[in-house]
Structure 1
């Protein structure tokens, strides 16, 4: 495939076994047992590098907690309640659920994070974290999306993650059963949101923070701990810890007055202390007088905690350098959960160094937190403060320019990743051909790492651009995200963003963009194993491409329709679609598109049982991908060629058995000359697989390497080399088990079916 917009990548969409018969019926079209990376499994596209898609290397223990708070004071009573739960978890072997409630800024997250860092060794299987965003726009997170992230972290195969929330919750309970883990569920909005995220039976502790009364969790055995503001003495100790005793010892009365004006909320006390740190000559009493005046000005606010926090934040903001003040205001534009230095530079229209310096000023003022190295986020009260200042202090033109710069930064960076991850794909969006800014990436690994890190922000910007009337940016972001969706199986985000992108394209009246989005939604259904449901959007996409007079788009839709027919077990119909796409590529003189369609036609011919024709198509594609220097596409074509030859050998052996051929006859005899790429000869098949194994190993494509070993086992089975068959299957099983791939069980069953070693 030419990597059409929304086209299907080299991953499974069909797990059907359509064997060609013979004495070892597992050969033929189910020569691969990996759910879509090898053999008869329907695939498409170019993916450079390894394709295993778990979120972390197998065996890696997740450590997702935010960084420990730098200044943590008091809370001995609350810590003891939490410690008692931590001690009970291994004794009772059931999850301990603790709900920390209290107003915004009271220090619930700081308490939970400090505790879980202190007790990290008590939970050897790691810690998971999710900010459920119960009190920020655009609203609470869907727990189904959180479960998707947790399952990836726990090495679930993304393609096998359930589509429905209840199914995901069941998978999560299964993956956590018997383990000992800590979970921090921050800013929960409801008991229902939390309930789906509870782990299976095991020595777990689950700490929930919320501003609400989640009484419904009592039925789940929750213990409730209300977090009150600090006592006056503890709040004064926090201020002294941050300022030093020399600054506070002569102003004890002013210190107490100041912390009371802060509502004894740690968030406000820290901001006030930072304000004093930035103004070393200002007295504590002077700041207290200023805050008292500010509280009078803001007295219309009804809630005491909001009044305390806002007055302190206003004072802290006023003391900042100008660049830091602009950054704090403009962070109100952020649509996603966090921000990096490059995005801050886009907001400020300055260098990255200047942006990092401004971020350091905000960190020092406690108006920003660094929750992971190089990743910054605002407390939701800080974000509300930023948005208020943005409206109050910047003109509409200035606000729009900053918002547009940030949106274009994310689009340009995403386009840059796409160009590195998949340089052979053709593009619809104009930014691919233009000089652009954004972040740059040295290699595929760096590009994919950026995409995974920024995906929540990119997802949010697709919606934000559409809501702002920036429809072109909205659908173009979707195009740039195509590869991360195809390769990493972020089905929820794929569905949401492409649905929004389709609405944006319709708002523009852009037929080609609409076709692009429809094609992507059809391919999503193929990846979900819904071949029949994929046909409608793909047919509509073909109509839209035709209306737009976009020939490459037509070829894309035809190819994807062919993939749908292959997945539905209709290879003749698939071949017809691939043939039409081939004619388009020939008419346009696109050698790469021609090679991709020849590979597709090889898949269709293989499924039709015409192994000679399949091998000819694969051989043609192989010549191009060898010449073009695309190792992954060469690997995929080698695998197709080898699978076709092996299927031909199995079919030939079955036919000779039926006609009385001698038991010692060559199962490949009469299948055609090996030199010209037709199926034939054991040595050529072995050589093809050796080449595929070498390329897969060099690329680090572990799933592909495992699949090649299965094909080598198939070759050994044809030649009655049971010991070699067992060895290759064992290697494949070891790789799949390490990747937590569900096909490991199928390989094990095949190993178990072999004669025991002593009977050979």
Structure 2
């Protein structure tokens, strides 16, 4: 391992009766809502599909700032703490404390970029938003993201924060990773995110002392404003040495007026870098006047940042100022160019030019291609400008445009992701504007990238009286939630959507939200808890006179009964739903209920009846149109044939081929187990071993307990 510049030399799908442990992963839910889904993540039925953006070794640290200056002393202290990590194999925690805008994140990011090779197992990042207006993030959600980044099966991530923390410690134990926990609000928030035993480095930035972390062996590094010489050197980097040295006295005044804070200095000086004929002296004079005015009108503790941001804002073009103000509406952690265009009521090229202007002025950061975020002080500043410079009507129009952008884009993504599902919201029929997506992978990637923003906007719409948008956003997110198991976001958004639907007194919208909350409980392995919201959903669908909704609630209720070991009750629900589909002439719904009835008959032990239902479903679920549904049905059919001693080779062969084409790892593993069962029945030990080995290889990645079970079966076989 090469030395760093800082001297840190870093070193259930088998068809057998379901168990409670299987129900958490193997609950197939609502064909009326789910349809043919074959995208990334652990999907209902324990389907696991390779993500289009499947992570390798994570490298999440924000880009190193362009004009990072000095900080040698602080970097050496971080390096000294990091060097100690290999000594006892325990994580080292370094807390960088200092005022807002002093450059704590820039210091941490620069250090970690310099020592990336010292952390072969990856670098993780989270903005804990400890000083955001809407409050800090829940560390449980951060852990969910970290575990997904480390390729954990989403369906196996614990539901409670302590369970997730334990999984994270287990997953990081023995590794060598670095974490940057930005803008921490408390020691408790950080402590839940600490990795397991290993030579890890955890950098924490905060404006607070967080003395509670001393018990975890934390090293505290004070990050003060730059020294006068270092601050002047930063201005030189922004303006160019010749220009800065030519007005050395004015640069000294600028440094003092900006409080030697890097954020303020870059914000103030960056506009001058684009205007070579303007003098530093003129800027310093304007800043002095503005600071004096603000000091008379404001009680802000630190006027340096506000003064500098005002000056930088004044130097922007009209389009740049409009976009900067518009970013004050953003509720989530970042934004993208189409959302910026909506906020500015501008075309794509104009929005991109304005964004480039803000990036050049150090008022915005492009943290990933096409994705932008602001420092929390910038966002506060933008929100003040919104109040000062735009009327209530103008602000409302901008928020409506952003709502339309999010809703139309999410609807289009959902249509690309899951075209077989029926829809309640009228936007689906209209297919209004919004982004168009080139296939399911692109739609899934957009939904994942925007999830935090969409999640925040569901709550904004509920709180601001845009109830229809709130629940319709939830509907557009449902397929994503089913496929990627974002349980926290699912619960939060559908609870908000339900409140919005109740405020509207819309029984169909309420029914959809309740059904979604019931399905969530099924996916979390809580079928008994699913009964009540599903019952309430069915009542509301009936009140609304919505037959498709009734069929879906009946199907989901049947799935709950299956999971609870009541196949006869499940069959009644499925048969009732099928009668509705037949009356409506919905061939797909009929086929899906035949598959469901096959599952119920299988669980009752009536394998001939189950085989008849599965075969009827296969007539509709073709490989070309519905490969996932065909795969599920083939596995069910094969299990039934094996149970009666019939040949299942053709069905299993087709299932394995389709699973391979879809990247459906868990379904492939289940098929291999069934093929091993068939081989065992015929005393073909070599074939049995081969299929069990293939299944164990897959389960070792997806479900380690099942892998251990399969390995015990392999070990029990006679030697080859």
Matched, 1:46 2:42: no
Alignment of 1:186 with 2:182, yes or no, is: yes
Structure 2 partner of 1:29: 17
Cα offset, 1:438, TM superposition: 1.4
- After superposition, the C-alpha distances for 1:15-49 in whole angstroms (9 at most, x for unaligned) are 9xxxxxxxxxx9843699977777x9788543432
Task: Answer whether contact 2:39 2:441 (CA < 8 A) is retained.
Answer: no
The alpha carbon displacement at 1:742 in A equals 4.5
Deviation at 1:304, TM superposition (A): 4.8
SS in 1 for 2:246: coil
Aligned with 2:644: secondary structure? helix
Asked whether the equivalents of residues 29 and 643 of structure 1 are also in contact (C-alpha less than 8 Å), the reply is no
The corresponding residue for 2:142 is: 146
The alpha-carbon deviation at position 636 of structure 1 amounts to: 1.2
Q: In structure 2, what is the equivalent of residue 726 of structure 1? A: 689
SS of the residue 2:203 aligns to: strand
Please give the alpha-carbon distance, in whole angstroms, between the structure 2 residues aligned to 1:453 and 1:186. 19
* C-alpha separation in 1, matches of 2:679 and 2:570: 31
CA contact (8 A) 1:56 1:155 kept: no
**Shift of residue 741 of structure 1?**
5.2
Name the residue aligned to 1:200: 196
Tell me if the contact between 2:90 and 2:200 (Cα under 8 Å) persists in the aligned partners. yes
Work out whether residues 172 and 199 of structure 1, in 8 Å CA contact, stay in contact via their aligned partners in 2: yes
Match status 1:75 vs 2:71: yes
Q: Is the 8 A contact 2:40 2:52 kept in 1?
A: no
1:406 aligns to what? 402
Report the Cα distance in structure 1 between the residues aligned to 2:431 and 2:25, rounded to whole angstroms: 36
Deviations 1:238-288 (A, max 9, x none): 000111112112211111110110110000111112121132211111100
Q: Is the 8 A contact 1:32 1:711 kept in 2?
A: no
Report the TM-score, using the length of structure 1 for normalisation.
0.89
Counterpart of 2:656 (choices 680, 690, 693) is 693
Q: CA deviation at 1:233?
A: 0.6
Counterpart Cα distance in 2 of 1:130 and 1:607: 45
Match of 2:5 in 1: none
Secondary structure in 2 aligned to 1:406? helix
Rounded Cα–Cα distance in structure 2 between residues aligned with 1:367 and 1:517: 39
Q: Distance in 2 between matches of 1:29 and 1:303?
A: 66
Measured on the aligned residues, the alpha-carbon RMSD in Å equals: 2.0
Map 1:656-671 → 2, pairs under 5 A: none
Shift of 1:174: 0.7
Pair 1:740–1:636, CA change in 2 (3 A): closer
The reply on whether 1:301 has 2:264 as its aligned counterpart is no
Distance in 1, Cα, partners of 2:422 & 2:195: 44
Give, in whole Å, the separation in 2 of the partners of 1:556 and 1:542.
9
Structure 2 counterpart of 1:225, from 221, 225, 248? 221
Whether the 8 Å CA contact 1:34–1:707 is kept in 2: the answer is: no
- Please state how far the C-alpha of 1:693 moved relative to its aligned partner: 1.3
* Cα separation, 2, equivalents of 1:507 and 1:552: 23
Match of 2:82 in 1: 86
Aligned residue in 1 for 2:542: 546
2:588 to 587, 592, 595: 592
Contact 1:736 1:743 in 2 (8 A): yes
Deviations 1:144-203 (A, max 9, x none): 111111111112121111111111111111111111100000000011100100111100
The Cα offsets for residues 433-484 of structure 1, whole Å up to 9 and x where unpaired, read as: 0141111111111111111111100100000110110000000000000011
1:534 matches 2:497: no
User: In the aligned structure 1, how far is the partner of 2:40 from the partner of 2:607?
Assistant: 27
1:71 CA displacement: 1.0
Deviation at 1:601, TM superposition (A): 0.2
Q: Does residue 583 of the first structure (1) align with residue 579 of the second (2)?
A: yes
663, 666, 670: which one aligns with 1:703 = 666
Q: Offset at 1:637?
A: 1.1
Cα distance 1:688–1:627, how it changes in 2: closer, same or farther (>3 A)? closer
Distance 1:43 1:160, change over 3 A: farther
| 3-state SS in 2 of match to 1:249 | helix
Q: Which runs of 5+ in 1 are unaligned?
A: 1-11, 16-25, 650-679
Task: Give the secondary structure class of the aligned counterpart of 1:281.
Answer: coil
Higher relative CO (CA 8 A, sep ≥ 6), structure 1 or 2?
1
CA distance in 2, matches of 1:301, 1:41: 59
Tell whether 2:287 aligns with 1:291: yes
Q: Secondary structure at the match of 2:621?
A: helix
Structure 1 residues 419 and 587, CA gap change in structure 2 (3 angstroms)? same
Closer, same or farther in 2 for the Cα pair 1:451/1:220, shift >3 Å?
Answer: same
1:675: which partner in 2?
A: none
2:343 to 344, 347, 363: 347
Deviation at 1:707, TM superposition (A): 2.0
Closer, same or farther: CA 161–36 of 1 in aligned 2, 3 Å: closer
Aligned to 2:7: none
Q: Which residue of 2 aligns with 1:751?
A: 714
Residue in 1 aligned with 2:551? 555
Cα distance, 1:628 vs structure 2: 7.1
Q: Distance in 2 between matches of 1:756 and 1:104?
A: 66
Question: Which whole-Å CA distance do the structure 1 matches of 2:399 and 2:53 have between them?
Answer: 37
> 1:340 and 1:627 mapped to 2: Cα distance?
37
| DSSP 3-state at the match of 1:280 | coil
Output aligned runs, 1:708-719, within 5 Å.
708-719=671-682
Comparing 528-537 with 619-628, greater Cα deviation is found at: 619-628
Q: 1:332 to 1:221 in 2, by over 3 A?
A: same
Q: Distance in 2 between matches of 1:689 and 1:31?
A: 23
509-518 vs 637-646, which deviates more? Answer: 637-646
Aligned residue for 2:202, secondary structure, equals strand
Q: Residues 348 and 43 (structure 1 numbering): CA distance in 2 closer, same or farther, change over 3 Å?
A: closer
3-state SS of the aligned residue for 2:102? coil
Larger Rg: 1
- Equivalent of 1:493 in 463, 466, 489: 489
In structure 1, what is the Cα distance between the partners aligned to 2:594 and 2:15?
A: 23
1:256-271 matches, cutoff 5 A: 256-271=252-267
* Pair 274,735 (structure 1): closer, same or farther in 2 beyond 3 Å: same
Partner of 1:361: 357
C-alpha separation in 2, matches of 1:614 and 1:368: 60
3-state SS of 1:629 partner: coil
Q: Are 1:101 and 2:97 counterparts?
A: yes
- Residue 526 and residue 28 in structure 1: after superposition, are their counterparts in 2 closer, same or farther (change >3 A)? closer
Q: 3-state DSSP class of the match of 2:622?
A: helix
Higher mean alpha-carbon deviation, 473-482 vs 165-174, is at: 165-174
Name the TM-score, length of structure 2 as normaliser. Answer: 0.94
